[in-house]
Amino acid sequence: MISVVIPVLNESATVADVVRLAWRDPDVSEVLVVDDGSIDGTPDAAREAGAVVLTSTLLGKGASMEDGMRAATQELVVYLDGDLHGLSEDLIARLKAPLLSDQADFVKARFTRTAGRVTTLTARPLLRLFFPELAHFEQPLGGIMAARRSLLQRLTFETDYGVDVGLLIDAAVQGARLVEVDVGHIEHDSHPLELLGDMAAQVVRTIMARAARHGRLKGSHLLEVQEIERHMEAEIGIALQKFEAVEKLALFDMDGVLLDGRYVVELARQTAMSGALSQYLDNLKMDPGERTRAIAALFTGVPRTIFEQVARDMPLQAGARQLVLELRKRGYRVCIVTDSFQVAAEIVRRRVFADFAFANLMRFQQGKATGRVTLSPAMIHPRGCPLHVSCKVNVLHHLTERLGLGREQILAVGDGENDICMLRAAGCSFAFRPKSDAVRAAAQRVLDGQLDDILTHVE
């Protein structure tokens, strides 16, 4: 009768207790744990406790929640967090009661823990301003909830920490009957201050986007904020603020290495630009920067949603996810370095659970590509590559300087001419199914088999 969905990321210490609690309710038919690329044994702990474990299709809590909903077989879906402590035995009973009695379609949990800083400082004030009908919800960001699957299928799942409040707003706009029930005392693992900043930004963006969508805010203001934020995140210094000590780095090309194919080729195919693209693609007579700008101009007016969907739908190279996860377990930070567009690289990063990505920045205005591109700041270095103004090896230079690493701590993987400088500079480099003899010669090792064969050569 009830499907329980638990999105998780590195919660091996608590997930088994949450799974066992779910199974103790007599109406629970299945417990689905959706893993976001954990490297601490969380999936194994969940399986041992009796859960079915799925791997999220895209990094982010919201994507895991949506994957769980789509995999659920029951009409009533209960969401629990994987890091909960001190749960009341009747937690699910309290959540399901309004649904079973047909008094509600969407139930949020209210608990006695003091509201978090993001809730107090961002979510509740913004809800009072833009959605006063929801201002009475004490825990709008709480991930403990229950709803009818038929309702959830009509809602939009944000991929990040804005998912919970986004679902609440969408359900209200859909006319669903909303209830908040007291579930007693709940203990969560505390988030570090650095993460709270990201959470706050995502929550603010979600609420403002809903306000714009429903005529309560001018959308142009929000879109400009999103563009500024996206370009800031591409700055190498801002990207590195999320990490503490880094001992080893793995740099991956995207096209033909992590992706089984070439992103811009597939984008052109889906936007009827294949013929126009052919005159620029791999045209070595053109300056690389000019070629990048000419290719970007072809996609003027293409909606950002098309850019994103192509990046989500393209097949990954066999073994890509497993390789990235295993490298992270071995202490590597994994970075995507590509001459493609950041809007695509960021999605691929999340699909393979990499740590960060650097690419060229397509500019969007009111949700459509302007055709103007900014070369990746991370690929430009005043003392970098002597051959190219914009070069992937400059990302390596930036990272080694800022993190205090030597070249022997860098692993690089590429397949094309534009990877040669990076392959030569790395302490350990692999040409994966190289496209030319020059690429083959630039790397220390050549792999013509599967991508995750790299693991047999990495200590």
338-385 tens-digit pLDDT: 999 999 999 999 999 999 899 999 999 888 999 999 888 889 888 888
User: Read out DSSP for 241-254?
Assistant: TT-----EEEEE-T
Chain centroid to Cα 59, Å, comes to: 4
At 342, phi and psi to the nearest 5?
-60, -35
Residue 95 CB burial class (10 angstroms; 0-12, 13-18, ≥19): buried
CA pair distance 27, 90, nearest whole angstrom: 12
DSSP state of 387: S
User: Read out DSSP for 127-174?
Assistant: HHHH-GGGTT-S-TT-S-EEEEHHHHTTS---SSTTHHHHHHHHHHHT
Return the H-helix or E-strand segment holding 410: strand 410-414
Cβ neighbours, 10 Å, residue 260: 14
CA pair distance 65, 446, nearest whole angstrom: 39
Return the H-helix or E-strand segment holding 276: helix 274-278
Residue 286 CB burial class (10 angstroms; 0-12, 13-18, ≥19): middle
DSSP state of 308: H
CA pair distance 305, 190, nearest whole angstrom: 34
Which pair of tokens denotes residue 319? 């073994």
- Residues forming a β-bridge with 187: 85
pLDDT of residue 192: 47
Directed axis angle between helix 219-233 and helix 193-213, to 10°?
150
CA pair distance 9, 24, nearest whole angstrom: 23
Sign for the CA dihedral angle at 145, 148, 151, 155 comes to positive
pLDDT of residue 198: 74
pLDDT of residue 236: 63
Contacts of 263 (CB under 8 A, 6+ apart): 254, 255, 310, 311, 314, 340, 341, 344, 348
What's the N-to-C CA distance of the chain in angstroms?
48
- Residues forming a β-bridge with 410: 249
CA pair distance 447, 430, nearest whole angstrom: 7
Contacts of 396 (CB under 8 A, 6+ apart): 251, 407, 410, 412, 422, 425, 426
Domains of the chain (ranges, CATH numbers): 2-205 (3.90.550.10), 233-457 (3.40.50.1000)
Nearest to 353 by CA among 337, 333, 339, 368: 333
Residues of the chain with pLDDT under 70: 112-117, 187-197, 218-244, 459
pLDDT of residue 193: 43
CA pair distance 75, 57, nearest whole angstrom: 22
Q: Which residue in this structure is represented by tokens 């007579």?
A: 285
Up-side HSE of residue 219: CA atoms within 13 Å toward CB?
Answer: 9
pLDDT of residue 233: 60
CA pair distance 381, 358, nearest whole angstrom: 14
What Å distances lie between residue 442 and 51, 53, 110, 356, CA to CA?
Answer: 47, 41, 59, 25
Up-side HSE of residue 352: CA atoms within 13 Å toward CB?
Answer: 37
User: Does the reported pTM lie above 0.85?
Assistant: no
**C-beta contacts of 446-455 below 8 A and 24+ residues apart:** 450/318, 450/319, 451/257, 451/258, 451/317, 451/318, 451/319, 451/320, 451/323, 451/413, 452/318, 452/319, 452/320, 452/322, 452/323, 452/326, 453/319, 454/323, 454/413, 454/430, 455/323, 455/326, 455/327
